[in-house]
Amino acid sequence: MDERVIKFRETADFILSRMDAAPEIGIVLGSGLGTLADSIENQRVIPYAGIPNFANTTAAGHKGNLIAGMLGGKKVLAMQGRFHYYEGYRMEQVTFPIRVMATLGVKTLFVSNAAGGVNPAFRVGDLMVIRDHINLLPNPLIGKNIDEMGARFPDMTRPYDPAMIELVEKIATAQHIELRKGVYLAGTGPTYETPAEYAYFGKMGADAVGMSTTPEVIVARHSNIRVFGMSVITNEAHSFSDTFVNNHKDVIAAADKAAKTMSALFRLMIEQL
């Protein structure tokens, strides 16, 4: 057996020993979006620091905990804080928790992030359903394929589950929540982009730009987990005044404001899955 699979199992067993039952649904909470964890019932908090084979989060605005419990009547396992490539982690470390979720039997993954809106119609605080992505990070599947998890050449025609997109649109209409829908592009960071780079990404077909998510989605799809993704637009990356600067504090504050609505949508979706 592939040695990596033994590690996934070891970590999965550790997490399972701290839960009541195996999770069906995984959730990755992005920058400033960790508050969804507050609405998880009967929760168990498992700090990353004590989990075998896990790396530690360092980015400001990111907590480093797994939160296990119930949401929308289903067993969930949420990551409060993720591992970013810009922090210096290897792609294997960035995506390790997703492999562990797959090993635990997770069938559905919700991913979220803070992102810059390059679509000129987007405003700070908008929620964007991710319908597709452009991955400009190294592909996390580079290297010997883990045959136990999935195929060497996985299909990426529909990385974001069309039925789940339909479901969120139905819920949002009923709740009078306005949603955007678009393409998420992931770069390495940690710099925010230059105005020329934002414009270039827009021309490539991106609606929003961030520094995460695509590695987790690629690995989830490799493991045949269905994926739903949402970006919170935290800055308008399409029109720059002479005095404008991007900064992390404003990004976190904008994400925090939108977190409640995103959490409500995730819960309603989970109820109906």
Residues that bind ligand HPA (CB under 6 A): 114-116, 189, 192-193, 209-211, 234-235, 237, 246, 251
In the numeric block, which tokens belong to residue 257? 């404001």
Q: Catalytic annotation on 198?
A: no
Q: Catalytic annotation on 248?
A: yes
Q: Please, which residue, 53 or 246, has the CB nearer to ligand HPA?
A: 246
Q: Please, which residue, 114 or 171, has the CB nearer to ligand HPA?
A: 114
| Min CB(60)–ligand HPA separation in Å | 13
| Min CB(1)–ligand HPA separation in Å | 38
Specify whether the backbone of 69 is left (phi greater than 0), alpha (psi in -120 to 50) or beta. Answer: left
| Min CB(197)–ligand HPA separation in Å | 9
* Catalytic hit among 12, 31, 68, 184: 31
Q: Catalytic annotation on 235?
A: yes
* Catalytic hit among 12, 37, 55, 62: 62
Cβ partners under 8 Å of residue 218, min gap 6: 95, 135, 139, 140, 141, 154, 156, 159
H or E element in which residue 78 lies? strand 74-80
Burial label for 173, CB within 10 Å (0-12, 13-18, 19+), is exposed
Q: Catalytic annotation on 211?
A: yes
Q: Catalytic annotation on 31?
A: yes
Nearest Cα residue to 266 out of 173, 186, 164: 164
Q: Please, which residue, 148 or 197, has the CB nearer to ligand HPA?
A: 197
CA–CA distances in Å: residue 231 to residues 3, 67, 259: 34, 21, 10
* Catalytic hit among 114, 115, 220, 237: 114
| Min CB(256)–ligand HPA separation in Å | 13
| Min CB(34)–ligand HPA separation in Å | 15
Q: CB-hemisphere CA count at 13 Å for 2? A: 12
Q: Please, which residue, 16 or 111, has the CB nearer to ligand HPA?
A: 111
| Min CB(235)–ligand HPA separation in Å | 5
* Catalytic hit among 24, 86, 246, 253: 86
Identity of the residue numbered 27: I
In angstroms, rounded to a whole number, what is the distance separating the alpha carbons of residues 63 and 71? 19
* Catalytic hit among 84, 216, 222, 259: 84
Cβ partners under 8 Å of residue 168, min gap 6: 129, 179, 228, 230, 265, 269
In angstroms, rounded to a whole number, what is the distance separating the alpha carbons of residues 154 and 235? 33
* Catalytic hit among 119, 212, 223, 263: 212
Q: Catalytic annotation on 169?
A: no
**Residue 48 · residue 57 · CB < 8 Å:** yes
Q: Please, which residue, 8 or 192, has the CB nearer to ligand HPA?
A: 192
Q: Please, which residue, 143 or 190, has the CB nearer to ligand HPA?
A: 190
Query: Which residue, judged by CB position, is nearest to ligand HPA in the bound state?
Result: 116
Active-site positions?
Answer: 31, 62, 84, 86-87, 114, 211-212, 235, 248
